[in-house]
Amino acid sequence: MSEATATVDKVSREEAKIVRPPLVLNQRTMGWISNYISSIIEGKTPFWWYAAMAVTVPLSLMCFGMLAYLISTGVGVWGNNHPVGWAWDITNFVFWIGIGHAGTLISAILFLTRQKWRTSINRAAEAMTLFAVVCAGIYPALHVGRVWMAWYLAPVPNSNAIWQNFRSPLLWDVFAVSTYFTVSILFWYTGLIPDLATIRDRCTTKIKKFIYGVLALGWRGGNRQWRHYEKAYLILAGISTPLVLSVHSIVSFDFATSVIPGWHTTIFPPYFVAGAIFGGFAMVLTIMIPACAIYKPLHDLVTHSHVDKMCKIILLTGSIVGYAYLMELFIAWYGANPYEKAAFWYRAFGPYWWAYWAMMFCNVVAPQFFWFKYFRNNWIWVWVLVQFPNMGMWLERFVIIATTLARDFMTSAWGMFHPTIVDWCTFIGTFGLFTTLFLLFIRFLPMICMFEVKAVLPEADPHYGEARH
């Protein structure tokens, strides 16, 4: 009996090789996956972690210091001024929120489309979403000026019994971003529950056992639990998909529903969403490649095929973004609106020409290298090349916001934006905050979704090794 089973096992393994390359390399077992991923959390804190934290923690403290200075002094400490009333705050907000979108895309859209390769990257990407949204949230919350008045945005009447203007895109934004953050946390935590149970069951010290035990909520992995769990996960994926598309569309409405030339275009929602996915995947690769370089056995889980696929998505979305840039220019010319035409002329040849052409290079030209397998397979090249989308997507938002406002309808309302040192330090600080949160995540939570990776192993199939019909 057992010999027969072994032969059949071997046959199905051979069969699997023909059908599709395995998602997990080196025939790793379920036990190995738990052991290795958990060992990252259970082991001694490595030196590089402290070294990295020594850089990122002061940077995040700098961010908080700058925000405290801003609150205590006023928004005047930023460079925003007439006519560029929205500047780095909104640029950075859109930049960070866009980065978050790749995480939701990986966890939701790729789940719905049954892309099983997502299992080994979705946890880290979702964590990245959360931390990016935290960084993003800082800006709209603080740019209101008097932060203690921020409750005006909540649906509560003010002292004159006047309610919020629900027809304003800025209020849509509040609802969209806060819903997005909440749903992202729920999605991420739901995915974590079975893995927290794994950590709980392996804990040796009482304190750890208590903490992970509480966090795992008493999960036992019975099928009576799994069936509701899987349903909940499917539903969350199903509702996160339109959510993520709506969030960046609504962010683009902040611009598109205004009457400013260069902003008032219908192309904005799809173009913003494509850009968000483009920039977000670049950020996923930016953090996953170093993580895999540090934890070498992760190469069996995050394989060349994963990076290859992500590069292709960057190439695709980068090309969509490039198409949108060209289409904007075409419509500016074809639409025969002199203000629209002027707005785009100033983008390309006005005072911020350098930002425009740098953006064009970073977002349209640089990703084209990913047509070549050589660049997609060489992780050092990949890491270098994805820095261009990272920069380019920031520049895109800067170009859209600052150059448009700097050249208003009337020459009397023209002006330049000059970032102050506070602008710079806050922005650099948010990178520190983002990285600090990510380092904490790597140290204390499983960065690969263990149970999902186990479920894509061939032996997870209940008919594994049985004759096919």
Partner 1 sequence: MEYAGNPESEIHGIAAEFQNARELYHAAEKLRDEGFEHWDVFSPFPIHGMDEAMGMKRSILGKLVFFGGLVGFLLAVAMQFGTSSFLYPLIVAGKPTNLFTVPAFFPIIFELTILLSAFTAVFGMLLMNGLPRFNHPLFNWERFKKVTEDKFFVAIEASDPKFSPQPLKALLESLGGTNVTVIHGD
- Enumerate residues 450-469 that contact partner 1 by CB under 8 A: 451-452, 454-455, 459-466
Answer left, alpha or beta for residue 45, where phi above 0 means left and psi between -120 and 50 means alpha: beta
Picking from 72, 65, 61, 75, the residue whose alpha carbon sits closest to that of residue 420 is: 75
Nearer CB in complex with partner 1: 76/242: 242
Task: Map the footprint of partner 1 across residues 26-65, applying CB under 8 A.
Answer: 29-31, 34-35
Nearer CB in complex with partner 1: 228/296: 228
The answer to whether the beta carbons of residues 250 and 361 sit under 8 Å apart is: no
Which among 17-25, 100-108, 212-220, 294-302 is the span making contact with partner 1, rule CB under 8 A? 212-220
How many residues bind partner 1, per CB under 8 A? 72
Please report how many Cα atoms fall inside a 13 Å half-sphere around the Cα of residue 93, on the Cβ side: 23
The answer to whether the beta carbons of residues 456 and 23 sit under 8 Å apart is: yes
Task: Map the footprint of partner 1 across residues 187-206, applying CB under 8 A.
Answer: 187, 189-190, 194, 197-198, 200-202
Task: Map the footprint of partner 1 across residues 138-177, applying CB under 8 A.
Answer: 155, 157, 161-169, 171-172, 175-176
For the CB of residue 465, give the shortest distance to partner 1 in the complex, in Å: 7
For the CB of residue 301, give the shortest distance to partner 1 in the complex, in Å: 15
Task: Map the footprint of partner 1 across residues 252-311, applying CB under 8 A.
Answer: 253
Task: Map the footprint of partner 1 across residues 232-251, applying CB under 8 A.
Answer: 232, 235-236, 239-240, 242-243, 246, 250
For the CB of residue 449, give the shortest distance to partner 1 in the complex, in Å: 10
- CA–CA distance from 363 to each of 319, 379, 396 (Å)? 8, 19, 9
For the CB of residue 27, give the shortest distance to partner 1 in the complex, in Å: 14
For the CB of residue 281, give the shortest distance to partner 1 in the complex, in Å: 23
State how far the Cα of 172 lies from the Cα of 395, in Å rounded to an integer: 25
Nearer CB in complex with partner 1: 236/343: 236
For the CB of residue 12, give the shortest distance to partner 1 in the complex, in Å: 11
The contact pattern for partner 1, residues 98-137, with x = CB under 8 A and - = no contact, is ----------------------------------------
- Compute the CA torsion angle 102, 299, 308, 428 (nearest 10 deg): 40
Nearer CB in complex with partner 1: 217/384: 217
The answer to whether the beta carbons of residues 249 and 272 sit under 8 Å apart is: yes
- Upstream peptide bond of 351 is cis (omega within 30 degrees of 0): no
The answer to whether the beta carbons of residues 464 and 9 sit under 8 Å apart is: yes
CA angle 14, 17, 23 (to 5 degrees): 130
Nearer CB in complex with partner 1: 74/221: 221
State how far the Cα of 288 lies from the Cα of 102, in Å rounded to an integer: 13
Picking from 361, 297, 306, 360, the residue whose alpha carbon sits closest to that of residue 119 is: 306
